Chains A and B, each alone.
Chain A
Amino acid sequence: GAGVSQSPRYKVTKRGQDVALRCDPISGHVSLYWYRQALGQGPEFLTYFNYEAQQDKSGLPNDRFSAERPEGSISTLTIQRTEQRDSAMYRCASSSGQAWNTEAFFGQGTRLTVV
């Protein structure tokens, strides 16, 4: 696609429910990142994929959070048994290749609200 696409744009869920957030990266981009951004803060790293391999999940806050990218393209971030503290903007980014000098392109994000 022309840019990184995330869906849904907004998600309101009840505490205890599971949610799945989707990211469709720019076509051909091998690197995919998930970030979480609280209000008034900068984005914080959650996890990184190189093709389908999850190479870094050090930023996932606990085992309720998981992510996958089974075919090396679309990725899903899943939060189980959501809690109010999970409310945030979740951002996905992709970049071409693994070169550290390539910029990452971000999607518009999914605003998650847990009530």
Chain B
Amino acid sequence: AQSVAQPEDQVNVAEGNPLTVKCTYSVSGNPYLFWYVQYPNRGLQFLLKYITGDNLVKGSYGFEAEFNKSQTSFHLKKPSALVSDSALYFCAVRLYGSSNTGKLIFGQGTTLQVKP
């Protein structure tokens, strides 16, 4: 069965420090990987995606993520955290193939807390 794991419920980091939010996946085919962010009382907002090509992908608000096929991971990173980055982050995987309808499988979410 396909699944996505975000092993940390919460990540705490000081403003200005680098941040990492972890994500691992388990799929039987070729994965397309996504990160979404959810601010309070807001919908899910797309951050970035990995489809193919360079393992390091860059997205919105200075975020980037590194795809590691051997470790089946897609960790979200940012070199310097801002207090405004504090939010709930979701990793998701979409399966490729004609038998799949493109549905996203989400992880449980990781709360990022950036302290001044």
Contacts and interface: CB of A to CB of B under 8 A. Distances in A.
Q: Which of the four size classes fits the interface of chain B?
A: 20 to 34
A98 interface: yes
Contacts of A45: 103-105
B43 A108 contact: yes
Nearest to A4: B43
B27 interface: no
A6 to B, nearest CB: 8
Contact of A31 (B32, B36, B90, B102): B102
A93 B94 CA distance: 14
A111 to B, nearest CB: 10
Interface string B76-116: 00000000000000101011110011111111110000000
A95 B109 CA distance: 22
Given A93-B44, A100-B94, A106-B36, 9 more contacts: A31-B102, A33-B103, A40-B109, A41-B108, A41-B109, A42-B92, A42-B109, A45-B104, A45-B105
A59 interface: yes
Interface in A95-115: 95, 98, 100-101, 103-109
Contacts of B105: 45
Contacts of A62: none
B51 interface: yes
Q: Which of the listed residues A45, A59, A104 has the most CB atoms from chain B within 10 Å of its own CB?
A: A104
Contact of A59 (B36, B95, B103): B103
B76 to A, nearest CB: 14
B51 A106 contact: no
Nearest to A49: B101
A95 B46 CA distance: 12
Contacts of B4: 42
Contact of B44 (A41, A43, A98): A43
Interface in A47-69: 48, 50, 55-56, 59
26 contacts: A35-B104, A40-B109, A42-B4, A42-B109, A43-B104, A43-B106, A44-B106, A45-B103, A45-B105, A50-B101, A56-B101, A91-B43, A95-B102, A98-B102, A100-B32, A100-B95, A100-B96, A100-B97, A100-B102, A101-B51, A103-B34, A103-B46, A104-B104, A106-B36, A107-B43, A108-B42
